[in-house]
Amino acid sequence: MASIVFGTDGWRAIIADDYTFENVEKVALAFARYYKKHSLIENGVVVGGDARFGSQDFATAAARVIASQGIKVWLAEDVVSTPMLSLGIIKKKAAAGVMITASHNPPEWNGFKIKADFGGSALVKDIGKVETLLRAILEKGTTPKSKPTAELRDAGLILPIDLHSLYIKDIRKKIDLKAIELSGMNIAYDAMYGASFGVMGKLLPSVVCIHDEHNPGFKGIAPEPLAKNLSEFIALIRSGDFDIGLVTDGDADRFGCVDEKGNYISTQLLIPILIKYLHEERGLKGAVVKTVSVTDIVARMCEKYGLTLHERPVGFKYITELMIEGGVLIGGEESGGVGTSLHIPERDGIYNSLLLCEYLAKRNITLGQAVQEIFDEFGRVYYDRVDFRTTEKNKAAILAACARGLKSIGGFEVRDVESTDGYKFRIDGGWLLVRASGTEPILRFYGEANTRRKVKMLLDAAVKLGA
């Protein structure tokens, strides 16, 4: 199992290293063996791939293996986003789905996401059972057998599905696109060469789109909506007469924004704005779910609004577990993923971007004003994150130091320690979270505090832990 390990959101590996057709086919066989006993298996499964190098070929290979097990496969034959595939599962009442994507990872990576019958990330228990079957396949050296694609098509076991049209039709029903257009809001959108290329222009023709084409190499930039990856887009916003900039990641399930002044606005502030819109403006109720790395502003909002708050480990599958039980208004994670009760129990960068624009249009305010309202009501915070690439030895040393406990960090006394996921050290007016990434060989350091200087001191101290 050393070369095929499922992390927080599926299996990811470097193409032509561990990510090979042979390994993809073995994972597909384990998937098929598990889901062929599903109560909805007669409706089939949905398979698709994003805009990365080889994704369409890897998706077809996975589809062949699954269909050769006698399972009907709805195969998306064009580049699709993860939310498109998730919606397709729901519409087809399918047993599950496979999305070939490495999400926001650098271009040399690809991956294998498993989606459940409700459209969201497969639950931890189901992933565990697929891994058990996969372990047996690897230990026995099983070579998955598959029939030719043409033969499977003729047998009705591989069928085409137009997920683009299905998705666009669904979004038009759920978002007040007319209100956005009539507001006169000037919107720019950065697709980051991801799987959503061509979609925003069909939903809002007036939007100015960049990097809105198929480029499997993403011009060498990891398609993750972080300020460090958006210099060209931020320059566009600052040089033009734009009211807001929207950006989605490689498989379009995550999003970020740039305000009218060219300031990058992360999900740490977008989640509170969406909570305010859904609860205060639309009068909706329900629980709020956040991962441990999400801003404390959310907790303060829930306390004021009287909403139940759940805190979960990093990984949207942990949010999904609660969403499918019902009663959840919104769930979000720091890395750009948000799901609401108005859509599907899954992250969707396009939907959430448009939901935000709908809010701004109906209130006739800018994104900058919306952010300031949150600060005025719930307190000013500063946030930053460091993705720390290091050796396995140093990584282990840092985690061991955290496990032993820290009395102080960055010169600040540690008041409390939480270990829901990694190690979260609380100080007066802020916190530092140290955890290993579940999708890349790095450590992540997250810091939030009431001053920018305090955040920097916390993150600098975290980097020095392994020195």
Mean pLDDT of 392-396: 86
Class of domain 175-378 as given by CATH: alpha beta
Mean pLDDT of 291-316: 96
Q: Is the pLDDT of residue 1 over 80?
A: no
φ/ψ of residue 312, rounded to 5: -130, 165
The neighbouring-strand residues paired with 19 are 15
φ/ψ of residue 137, rounded to 5: -65, -40
3-state secondary structure of 328: strand
pLDDT of residue 467: 62
Please state which CATH number belongs to domain 382-466. Answer: 3.30.310.50
Q: Is the pLDDT of residue 2 over 60?
A: no
Do domains 6-167 and 382-466 share one topology? The answer is no
φ/ψ of residue 438, rounded to 5: -95, 0
Structure tokens at 432: 């530092």
pLDDT of residue 285: 95
pLDDT of residue 8: 74
Q: Render pLDDT for 69-112 as a digit per residue (tens, 0 to 9).
A: 999 999 998 999 999 999 999 999 999 999 999 999 999 999 99
Q: Is the pLDDT of residue 37 over 90?
A: yes
pLDDT of residue 437: 82
Q: Render pLDDT for 240-279 as a digit per residue (tens, 0 to 9).
A: 889 999 999 999 999 999 999 999 999 999 999 999 999 9
Q: Is the pLDDT of residue 316 over 70?
A: yes
Q: Render pLDDT for 357-388 as a digit per residue (tens, 0 to 9).
A: 999 999 999 999 999 999 999 999 999 999 99
Q: Is the CA virtual torsion 112, 86, 60, 158 positive or negative?
A: positive
pLDDT of residue 77: 86
Contact present, 302 and 99 (Cβ < 8 Å): no
Burial class (CB in 10 A: 0-12, 13-18, 19+), 384: middle
pLDDT of residue 390: 85
In this structure, whether the domain defined by 6-167 belongs to CATH 2.60.40.10 is answered with: no
Contact present, 273 and 353 (Cβ < 8 Å): no
pLDDT of residue 229: 95
pLDDT of residue 393: 85
Nearest to 29 by CA among 127, 120, 146, 192: 146
pLDDT of residue 355: 98
| Percent of the chain clearing pLDDT 90 (strictly above) | 92
What single-letter amino acid sits at 295? T
Q: Is the pLDDT of residue 7 over 90?
A: no
Q: Is the pLDDT of residue 224 over 80?
A: yes
How many CA atoms are closer than 13 Å to the CA of 328, on its beta-carbon side? 25
Q: Residue ranges per domain, the chain?
A: 6-167, 175-378, 382-466
Identify the residue whose tokens are 């047993």. 95
Q: Render pLDDT for 136-193 as a digit per residue (tens, 0 to 9).
A: 999 999 999 999 999 999 999 999 999 999 999 999 999 999 999 999 999 999 999 9
